[in-house]
Amino acid sequence: MSRVGPVLFVALLVATVVTAAIVVHARTPDLELQVTHLTHKISPRGGGEYRVAHVRFFVRESDPDATVEVVGPNLKLVRTLYRGPLEANDAVTFTWDGRNEHGAIADPDHRYRLRVILPSRDRDMVYPRRIDIVEPAGS
């Protein structure tokens, strides 16, 4: 009697279980970027608490050369908020005044997003929630 059939069956079963585990892990990765606060609308020309966007987040992996940016359409850089180390699980807070790298107020017709780059981890993360620039009431 040949044992090739049962051995082949067991090998295929093991391969199937391993493949399923890999797929499930790939579909449900740990969040590398955890945003705990993001102001969704700001009015750079107005006053009060909504003049700047407040961003608070932490990353799950440390990186000595991280970059925190605000990007616009097509992930085009609008403003660099920070360059330097980010430590895993240490919350950081940044503000964005609605201005671009040249000091001009960013286009209110566009929407902006937070981007965090961890080059030593080969990670480039863009938070999906957007920041809108609105004109102050009465203008």
- In tens digits, the chain (139 residues) has pLDDT values of 567 778 788 878 887 877 666 655 444 344 689 999 999 999 988 766 688 999 999 999 999 999 999 999 999 999 999 999 999 999 999 999 999 999 999 999 999 999 999 999 889 999 999 999 997 765 5
- Asked if 16 and 68 sit in the same domain, the reply is no
**For the whole model, what pTM was predicted?**
0.75
Total number of domains constituting the chain: 2
* 139 belongs to a structural domain: no
Q: Which domain holds residue 24?
A: 1-30
Residue-wise DSSP of the chain: ---HHHHHHHHHHHHHHHHHHHHHHHHSPPPSEEEEEE--EE-TTS-SGGGSEEEEEEESS-EEEEEEEEE-GGG-EEEEEEEEEE-TT--EEEEE-SB-TTSSBPPTTSEEEEEEEEGGGTEEEE-SS-EEE-PPTT-
- Asked if 22 and 63 sit in the same domain, the reply is no
* 20 belongs to a structural domain: yes
* 11 belongs to a structural domain: yes
